[in-house]
Structure 1
Amino acid sequence: MKKIILSAIAVMAFGFMNAQETRFGIKGGLNLTTLTGDATDAKSLVGFQVGGFAEIKIIEKLAIQPEVLYSTQGAKYDNFGDTKLDYLNIPVLAKYYITNQFTVEAGPQIGFLLSAKDDGEDIKNGTRSVDLGFNFGAGYNFTDNLSVGLRYTVGISNIYDNDYNNLTNYVDYSVRNSVLALALAYKF
């Protein structure tokens, strides 16, 4: 994990030093989330995300976009209620301008668990404090300042730790986050 954080910091520092232009912004939107893997009966849960970002132009059509987002995630279950997970997510995306209006983006994300509840009961002790994911997305710029984006985050790491698996008698129980987000962004 230290290598991932240090790599992200190095990429951002390099980008700031060599950037042609850096713009900052805020964003917010809706999340449609679920849990995948061994969570076979999980259904989608509606949440939200809000935060800020920096768009660091490297060359004319390419930018690096680090973000800091508060994100509500989780899933609904028919048998035992909802699993609600709150994260502080830090994605670092490579953003390519196909045209001045259309963009595509991809990149890794690290998430830090803020709270975890299962049917209202605190399960943070059985949930991993760090979540890794990878993002794919596209965006449309209405103006130089206002844009909309659609992004899918594929969870890479198991959200439950080994203690939870042992308590629930699931030896290899692997559950990952899955997030489809629609967000509105404003650049200053």
Structure 2
Amino acid sequence: MKYRNLLIVAIAFLGFQKGQAQTSFKPGLRGGFSFSTISETRSSYKTDFYVGAFGEINITKIYGLQPEITYSRQGSNNVGYYFNDNTQTELVKFRDLQLGYLSFTLLNKLTFGPGIQIQFGPAVDVLVNDNLDKVEMYNDLTLISGIAYRLPSGLTFEARLKKGILDVFDSSYYNDRNDYLFGSYNTNVNFQLGLSYAFGGKK
């Protein structure tokens, strides 16, 4: 019986060692274009950029985790709001709103075939700069989903949707008339299109 238990422990240990051998870590950089808007506003998409770093943790051949730190410039262009001038005449004016976030992401990656990846995971965004007159929420919780294609060299083409959950825009400050210009729940909507590179190349 003792030898049997010893054999089970040995097999489990060897299995663990094999699993450990499959695990690898590679640092990397990412960057590209950011296309964003703020929901429930009459506005147009803002084109800007994102840049960041990540650590690629390949747990198995198919599944991996990727912690990321990314600076993302977001917001919305041509946001209409009411403005009272010196003659007390109400005018509709337009502003380009800028929100800069430092994003902390824990990305899940599923790799299929030669290099096709499905990406998804949560992120916490911290507001580091903006041009708003009044901020509703300085942090945001976001959900990320995307698709990517990785070359054997470690270069990856990626496209992602990043959707905020929290109300980040104080619409009542810009629109106290409570009419059609703003909704009451204004969230970040961000599309990212760019490249990433993991140092170390192929697994």
Tell me the TM-score range normalised by the shorter chain: 0.7 to 0.9
Partner of 1:105: 119
Q: Is the deviation greater in 148-157 or in 136-145?
A: 136-145
Q: 1:163-185, CA deviations, whole angstroms, 9 ceiling, x for partnerless residues? A: x6467536x72110001101211
What is the correspondence of 1:33-182 to structure 2 with a 5 Å cutoff?
33-36=36-39, 38-39=40-41, 41-77=42-78, 79-117=93-131, 122-123=132-133, 125-160=134-169, 165=172, 168-169=175-176, 173-182=184-193
Per the alignment, in what secondary structure is the counterpart of residue 126 of structure 1? coil
Distance 1:110 1:178 in 2: 14
Distance 1:62 1:165 in 2: 44
Deviation at residue 160 of structure 1 after TM alignment: 2.8
TM-score, structure 1 normalization: 0.79
Distance 1:142 1:59 in 2: 18
Instruction: Return the letter of the residue paired with 2:196.
Output: A
TM-score, structure 2 normalization: 0.73
Distance 2:172 2:101 in 1: 21
Between the aligned residues of both structures, percent identity stands at: 26
Q: 1:173 to 1:57 in 2, by over 3 A?
A: same
Distance 1:80 1:166 in 2: 15
Distance 1:116 1:95 in 2: 31
Distance 1:168 1:42 in 2: 14
Deviation at residue 187 of structure 1 after TM alignment: 0.8
Q: 1:62 to 1:74 in 2, by over 3 A?
A: same
Residues 127 and 159 of structure 1 are in contact (CA less than 8 Å); yes or no, is this contact kept in structure 2?
yes
Structure 1: 5+ residue stretches without partners? 1-17
Distance 1:182 1:43 in 2: 18
> Which stretches of structure 1, 4 residues or longer, exceed 6 Å deviation after superposition?
none
Instruction: Return the letter of the residue paired with 2:100.
Output: D
Instruction: Return the letter of the residue paired with 1:60.
Output: K
Partner of 1:185: 196
Residues 43 and 77 of structure 2 are in contact (CA less than 8 Å); yes or no, is this contact kept in structure 1?
yes
Distance 1:67 1:97 in 2: 18
Instruction: Return the letter of the residue paired with 1:184.
Output: L
Distance 2:155 2:135 in 1: 40
Count how many residue pairs are aligned between Structure 1 and Structure 2: 162
Residues 49 and 70 of structure 1 are in contact (CA less than 8 Å); yes or no, is this contact kept in structure 2?
yes
Residues 116 and 127 of structure 1 are in contact (CA less than 8 Å); yes or no, is this contact kept in structure 2?
no
Structure 2: 5+ residue stretches without partners? 1-19, 81-92
Larger radius of gyration: 2
Q: CA RMSD in A?
A: 2.1
Distance 2:43 2:151 in 1: 36
Per the alignment, in what secondary structure is the counterpart of residue 91 of structure 1? strand
